[in-house]
Amino acid sequence: MERILAVVLLLLLTVFVFAESNSVDNMVSLTTIISETSADLSWSSYRSMGELSLNGKSILFKPGIPFLLLNYTEKSENFKIERGTNGDVFFSKDAASLISSFFTLSASEKSSLRIKAIIIDPGHGGRDSGAIGQYLSDGEKVKLMEKDIVLSVGLEVASLLRSSYHDKSIILTRSTDDFITLEQRTVIANGIDLEENESIIFVSIHANASLNSKANGFEVWYLPPDYRRKLLDDSVIESEPEDVIPILNTMLEEEITVESILLAQSIQKGLKGIVGDKIADRGLKEESWFVVRNTKMPAVLVELGFITNQEEAEILDDPAYLKKISEGIYNGVSGFINHFEVQYAPGE
Ligand SMILES: [Zn+2]
């Protein structure tokens, strides 16, 4: 009896393994797709959902759901997408080829993607000092204000950008110790006319404060745009079977500005590369800051460090350190530009 049971179990197992390997036969793994397209993957294990992004384009997918969502707006369906036993995701061949052609830029896309302007926004100013900190130097209290630190960094980043990018407008929301409102900053950012494939980068610069004097490190916030890309028009929603609607809504919630995240990652990398040995990296955060919520562009907010932390206040008061930080931000912005403005190779 035991023997029979063992045989039956073995048979079941064989059938199961065979069926499993069969089901991913003729399918292309996510790992393969990533290595062929070099798209970036972000995976939400909470939602069991993934997003591939490249060149400012995005594809959302969810194993078990037969469609791909392109740039948050366009749904392409009747695909097979499933989770393999090894944890990898498998796509039917037609899905895989759609993904790679979607990420391949057409000639006109290649030549026209362009950053038109870079807006550097030093926070606060004038009567608004921003956060205030202090540190002890030879027994003397040295006081410092966020508005001054972020202005020096902003001016330096702008000057680095100006010397490298003659074809772009480099705009500072303030270059003096003057008070400007959030609305004014937003108006500056939104007042630039853009052609279809032009974009603006918006980088707001701040220094952090905390009641906890030990809080330390820099962080980069990426910001969702004020405009929500319309996922599906009503006619599409009406024709959708009911059970798909919650999934579409989840995807909508998942909506993010790919570009903002890429820009934030790039700046984080730039800062880490230059000042990573001096200051902790608190990572990327997402927030709807007013100043950038109202701008139609990839926008990030950099917190340089904690002015309320003695040690960090001291380095933030060092002009040489501020130059380094500025270089880190500059490297991040220019890394993003290189990624965004895909150029033709000569002779191509
Ligand atoms: Zn601030």
Q: Which of 100-104, 180-184, 248-252 has the lowest mean pLDDT?
A: 248-252
pLDDT digits over 35-87, tens only?
888 888 888 877 788 889 887 788 999 999 888 988 877 888 888 999 988 88
Distance 139 CA to ligand 1 centre (A): 28
pLDDT at residue 298 in the model: 78
- Rounded to an integer, the average pLDDT of 265-283 is 92
* Cα 253 to middle of ligand 1, angstroms: 28
- pLDDT, residue 253, reads 37
Rounded Cα distance, 147 and 127, in Å: 10
Q: What is the pLDDT confidence band of residue 257, given thresholds at 50, 70 and 90?
A: low
The answer on pLDDT for 118 being more than 90 is yes
**Does domain 2-104 bear CATH number 3.30.457.10?**
yes
Mean pLDDT of 213-227: 76
Ligand 1 centroid vs 308 CA: distance in angstroms?
12
Instruction: Specify the pLDDT at position 110.
Output: 58
What are the residue ranges spanned by the domains of the chain?
2-104, 109-340
- Can you tell me the mean pLDDT for 101-126? 80
pLDDT at 223: 66
Residue 37: half-sphere exposure toward Cβ, Cα within 13 Å: 27
User: In sequence order, which ranges of the chain are alpha helices (DSSP H)?
Assistant: 2-24, 30-37, 93-103, 107-112, 146-164, 182-190, 234-239, 244-253, 258-275, 290-293, 310-316, 319-340
Domain 109-340 fold is: Aminopeptidase (3.40.630)
Distance 129 CA to ligand 1 centre (A): 9
What is the chain's mean pLDDT, rounded? 79
Burial class (CB in 10 A: 0-12, 13-18, 19+), 25: exposed
Residue 4: predicted pLDDT: 57
Beta bridge partners of 141: 136
Ligand 1 centroid distance, CA of 123 (Å): 5
Among the listed residues 328, 339, 320, the one whose alpha carbon sits nearest the alpha carbon of residue 303: 328
Model pLDDT, residue 130: 92
